[in-house]
Structures are given as structure tokens and as C-alpha cells.
Structure 1
Amino acid sequence: MKLATFNINGIKTRLPQLLDWLDKEEPDVVCLQELKALDGMFPQAALKEAGYSPLWKGQRSWNGVAILAKGEQPPLEIRRELPGDAKDDQSRYIEAAVDGLIVACLYLPNGNPQPGPKFDYKLAWFKRLHDHAQELYNSGHPVVLAGDFNVIPTDLDVYKPVSWKRDALMQPETRQAYANLLAQGWTDSLRHLHPEERIYTFWDYFRQHWQRNAGLRIDHILLNAELAPRLKSAGVDSWVRGQEHASDHAPVWVELGQAKAFAKRKKP
């Protein structure tokens, strides 16, 4: 199984690029963020024609998350919001059962400018994610947390740390929140398989950052203990970022082996 996450940065604007990527790379499950569209404007018909059944939660002009499953069977919705704050109406989280997995698609708040209310919201959202992720981790089911975390975990994950030292994405509190999440036992797929490689998933539109490969790694796929042993490979489809009218993110993906096949290999 190939599972991917992609901050599309406007699904109406970048639908051709999304469809092209789906056709070429053929992921089985996809988590999308930053749809920037109301529910009624989501391109359900085009995605179904491309062979994908979607589950989505939109929002006007901002945010929005979706899970796509290859084939005619759509993801089975579990929840459409992150627990812990009934007043939070931002569309940043959706969770579903797909092909035997629990898939949590998330778009963590950016938090800029910091300090301030947006950064406070980011840390509060992160705490809610931490609490719910612990429940998911302990569920006994294979679980994946995938999305745009808006976190630069370490200096290896940014082209020039000094340029981002005041940004909310790499504040000590942000990095500690991510470290606390991993401490539950989650496996950061890309970093696990490429421990010393500079890999980026985001290049902003300014100062020729894409052309200079001046990027950040802020899109992550985390696997719990039931799922991590099935991890075979992981990477970034960086070619998508080089397309005309591209998102400023590129898709991140993992290849997962079959559960039965893995169990059979583990027998003495």
C-alpha cells in the first residue's frame, strides 16, 4: 500500500496538478490539506473519475482537509474534528478507517506571528493532538497521522536555520511539542529511513527558494507501533513542486507492506 500526504494549497486552483500526480504515482490513500473550498465546491466528480473516492471537510478560503481512497469504497468516517475544544470551528482534522488502517489527516496551525494569539492557538491545538494521538496510539489498531504539521523538527529539516529562528515553525515550544508526540512511540517515517539526509517537503514562493532547493521538512507521516514494522520505503515526489502553478508543498509518501506478509516473516 502506498499512502501519501499533500498540502494542495487550493484544490480548485490546482486540481489539474493533483490529477496528474494521482495518475502518475497511483497512491492508494491520500491525505490532503488546505483545500480552501467550501464542501459544495469540492471536486468530487473529477476525483471519482480519476478512480478515487473522497471524504472531506471544507472551509471558505482557508484550511480544509480530505482523505482519498483508491477505488469505489470511500473512507469510513470516524470523526471530523479534533477533540478537546467544541468552539474550534477551523477545518483542520479528519479521521477515517481505510483499508484496515485508521488514517488521521491533519493541518496543524501555522502559528505566526509569534508571540501572540495565533501561536497560543497552535500550541493549544498541538496539546489536543497529543492527547488524542495517545488514545489512537494505544488503540491496538494500525494508525497513521499524516499531514502538514507546520513543524521544522530539527535543524537538519531546514535549509538555513538562522533564517527561520523567529518563525513559529521552529520555536522551542513547537519543536518540543513534536518531540513529545514522537515520545509516545510514533515513527517519523521519512526521518526513520533517512536519518541524516536533507529532505524537504515545502519551498515557499519567494526568493527563488524552489530553484535553490531552499526548503523545509514540515509534512510528516507518523506510524504507530502496529504499523511501523510494515514500513518499506518513504520519499517525496518533489517533481510536483516544479510544475507550473504548483503548490508550495510536494507530496510525501510511504510504502507499507501487508500485515499478514510481515507476520509471516516474523515467525521463527
Structure 2
Amino acid sequence: MKVVSWNVNGARAVHRKGAWDTFVKRCGDADVIGLQELKATPEQLPEEMGDPAQFNAFFNVPTQKKGYSGVALYVTEEPDRVLTELDVPDTEGRFVAAVYERRKLVIANVYFPNGGGGEERMAYKLDYYDAFLSFIENWRRAGYSVLFMGDVNAAHEPIDLAHPTANEGTPGYNPDVRAWIDEVVRAGYTDTFRHLHPRAATYSYWDLKTRARERDVGWRIDYVFCSNDLLPQLTDAAIHGDIFGSDHCPVSATIAE
């Protein structure tokens, strides 16, 4: 099972630039695709994104602030249930999950809050983190395996960003957000890319305003995590830095079935 995650930073813009065609050529063989930051409703998307022929497509979009946030989950195998709510207020369309009861598997796609803009937004980010961890832990206690992907909006370790010292204390690299990823790992989930590439200083996000991608001054804030019971089946994890169109690039993992 190949899983691909991409923060597209505007799905219509990615399509207009031709980047979606490149993505499909490179990653269209995936069994699961999670997109974040759609900035559009399904009805506003080109057909191949809003209703892709080879996938079952599920969306969660903002109910108040239009043209903001939004996530999509494409899966080749139709799930038994689709969930779009966590135990935290969310009008921003940040979460969608597929439940496979026979396979005892939950696949979640999440666009976590950035946390910038003041103490209230950072508090919301941390609450969202906690609500999501509670969600996946509840499923694990019920005997399910878990795969989750998305823009976590946090770099975990110094190797995960080009300038760790200069960015200490920022919304994406402060003790609280790093500690949450520690908690996820302690709870029994593995960062698939870091597991297979322990020393790779490879990034998934670059600030477009400073043309940071040209200098590879980036952050690794996009992840695919798996519950540890799936770890023996993990065969590949990659960051697709040669796919453009967004300030993020796709990341992927492959779990043998």
C-alpha cells in the first residue's frame, strides 16, 4: 500500500500550473493520497481532483472561512466509514479519516494548525494535537492499526530544518510542538521517513517569499506515521522534492500487504 501526502497550498493553482499532471505521473500509482490546504470546495476543483476516476474521494472543507484550509483523502478501496470530526472545535476543515473494519485499519489525513498569530492560535494548535492523538489512541486500543499523514506544521529534531538555532521558539519549532511529536513516538507510532533515512537532511517545505527552495533552506514538517505494528511491513519512504507547484512537496511511504 503506497501512501502519498501533499500540502498543495491551493489545489486549483497546482492544477493551473500543470503540477498536478506531474504529480499524477509520479505518484498516481498510490493506493492512498492525502491532500492538505485545498483552498477550495470539491465543486470548485477540476474533475480529476474533485472526482478522480480511480479513487473514492472524501473531503472536509471549512464551514466559515472559504478559500482556506481544507483536506482531501483519495483511497482506491472504499472504506466502511469516513470521519471528519475530532474532539476539538474545527470549522476549518483539517481532518478526514477512513476506517476499514475488516482490515482493522484507520487511515487519517490531517492539516494541523500553524500556531502563528498569537497565543490563542498556538493554544488551539496544541489542543488539536492532543485531540488527534486521543483519536488514534482510541482506535489502537480497539485493535486497529493506524496510518496518518499530513502537514504537522512542526519540525521534530534539528536535522529537520536548515536553521534550527535561528528558529527556536517559533510556532513550528518550539518545545511544545517538538514534545508532542515525542509523545506520538512514545505512544507507539513511527515517523516512516526518519526510520528509513535516519541521517537525511531532506526537507518538504520552503518559504516561497525568500526563494528558499532554490537554496534548499527548508523544513521537514510533512510526515507519514504508522503504528508500530505496521513497521515490519514498511518498505519505502520518500520526499519528492522534484515535484513543484506548492511551497511543500509530496512525501510518501509504502507498507507491504
Q: Give TM-score, length-normalised by structure 2.
A: 0.89
Q: Which runs of 5+ in 2 are unaligned?
A: none
Deviation at 1:46, TM superposition (A): 4.9
1 CA distance for matches of 2:124 and 2:140? 24
**Given the alignment of the two structures, is residue 22 of structure 1 paired with residue 24 of structure 2, yes or no?**
yes
**Given the alignment of the two structures, is residue 110 of structure 1 paired with residue 114 of structure 2, yes or no?**
yes
**CA 1:224–1:150: 2 relative to 1, 3 Å:** same
Residue type of the alignment partner of 2:133: H
Deviation at 1:69, TM superposition (A): 2.0
Find the counterpart in structure 1 of residue 208 from structure 2: 205
2 CA distance for matches of 1:132 and 1:228? 20
1 CA distance for matches of 2:57 and 2:47? 7
1:138 to 141, 146, 149: 141
**CA 1:211–1:37: 2 relative to 1, 3 Å:** same
SS at 1:12 equivalent: helix
2 CA distance for matches of 1:216 and 1:103? 24
1 CA distance for matches of 2:185 and 2:47? 34
SS at 1:170 equivalent: coil
Find the counterpart in structure 2 of residue 171 from structure 1: 174
1:89 to 83, 88, 91: 91
**CA 1:183–1:46: 2 relative to 1, 3 Å:** closer
2 CA distance for matches of 1:43 and 1:90? 22
Deviation at 1:164, TM superposition (A): 1.6
Counterpart contact for 1:54–1:74, Cα < 8 Å: no
Counterpart contact for 2:222–2:251, Cα < 8 Å: yes
Compare 47-56 and 200-209 and name the one that shifted more: 47-56
SS at 1:126 equivalent: helix
2 CA distance for matches of 1:167 and 1:12? 30
Deviation at 1:76, TM superposition (A): 4.4
Find the counterpart in structure 2 of residue 4 from structure 1: 4
| Aligned ranges 1:1-268 → 2 under 5 Å | 1-15=1-15, 16-25=18-27, 26-46=29-49, 48=51, 51-59=54-62, 60-70=66-76, 73-82=77-86, 84-85=87-88, 87-97=89-99, 100=103, 101-114=105-118, 116-241=119-244, 246-258=245-257
2 CA distance for matches of 1:81 and 1:136? 14
Find the counterpart in structure 2 of residue 262 from structure 1: none
CA deviations on 1:163-214 (whole Å, 9 max, x unpaired) are 3223111110111111111110101101111111112111110222101111
**CA 1:177–1:136: 2 relative to 1, 3 Å:** same
Q: CA RMSD in A?
A: 2.0
1 CA distance for matches of 2:246 and 2:99? 27
Aligned-residue identity in percent: 27
Residue type of the alignment partner of 1:66: A
Aligned residues: 249
SS at 2:144 equivalent: coil
Deviation at 1:92, TM superposition (A): 0.6
Residue type of the alignment partner of 1:220: Y
Residue type of the alignment partner of 1:5: S
Deviation at 1:108, TM superposition (A): 0.6
Counterpart contact for 1:29–1:67, Cα < 8 Å: yes
Residue type of the alignment partner of 1:253: S
Counterpart contact for 1:78–1:95, Cα < 8 Å: yes
Deviation at 1:58, TM superposition (A): 1.9
2 CA distance for matches of 1:164 and 1:77? 40
SS at 1:197 equivalent: coil
SS at 2:107 equivalent: strand
CA deviations on 1:73-117 (whole Å, 9 max, x unpaired) are 5444431112x23x4322111111369442111011000134x11
Q: Which runs of 5+ in 1 are unaligned?
A: 259-268
2 CA distance for matches of 1:17 and 1:133? 32
